[in-house]
Structure 1
């Protein structure tokens, strides 16, 4: 699989945990119960990761890369899916993962954010 480093990268984020959701046949990376990355497959079984991005940034990336599409089974404005066999450069994927983590972290209470950032 291309982007084999994604699992380690997601788990390197402060407060990140990984869990497998059997009914979705997918792995979720979460912060305090809120998902920031979902790794699974589309309806044809092609491997994808789905992550949250600022709407304008997600739209720009979708225009630049055919392997970035509106979030599969998610809110199409805020979530984007990336085909793992695609040609998106690693640095773009890292930036997407970073943005998703930051957006979800920012959605938590100030108390939880402080707790997460001061640990690990």
Structure 2
């Protein structure tokens, strides 16, 4: 997958998520996706390379970094809880969509129950059960 496809796939997925909003708090070079005011995805270019920065469970983040050459610690974020995705032959649309949805669900899990746009334990796992 090339860089523009990486950004398009991630953005398309994020825009389908209930309650997701795109903001530009750091200027036009950063696309920041939030749910209920909490960041779950950032997109920018790091010296000319498109990247997607996502929240990840620390154990899963470590496993992903070991398994994929194009997944590294979160750029300008907490390296334990965030990953950076770059385009590459081992990165496909399904993986990008899965990681974006996982990041969203992690953020929703930490929202007060009344603010959750979806049930994070069931959303995106086959049954799209809303709260």
TM > 0.5 between the two?
A: yes
- Kindly indicate whether residue 34 of structure 2 is the aligned counterpart of residue 27 of structure 1: no
User: Once the 2 structures are TM-superposed, how far is the Cα of residue 94 of structure 1 from its aligned partner?
Assistant: 1.4
* Structure 2 unaligned residues grouped into runs of 5+: 119-129
What is the TM-score of this pair, normalised by structure 1? 0.87
Q: Give 1:109's match in structure 2, choosing from 105, 112, 116.
A: 112
1:75 is aligned to 78
User: Once the 2 structures are TM-superposed, how far is the Cα of residue 89 of structure 1 from its aligned partner?
Assistant: 2.1
* Structure 1 unaligned residues grouped into runs of 5+: none
What CA RMSD, in Å, does the superposition of the two structures yield over aligned residues? 1.7
User: Once the 2 structures are TM-superposed, how far is the Cα of residue 8 of structure 1 from its aligned partner?
Assistant: 1.7
What is the TM-score of this pair, normalised by structure 2? 0.80
1:50 is aligned to 53
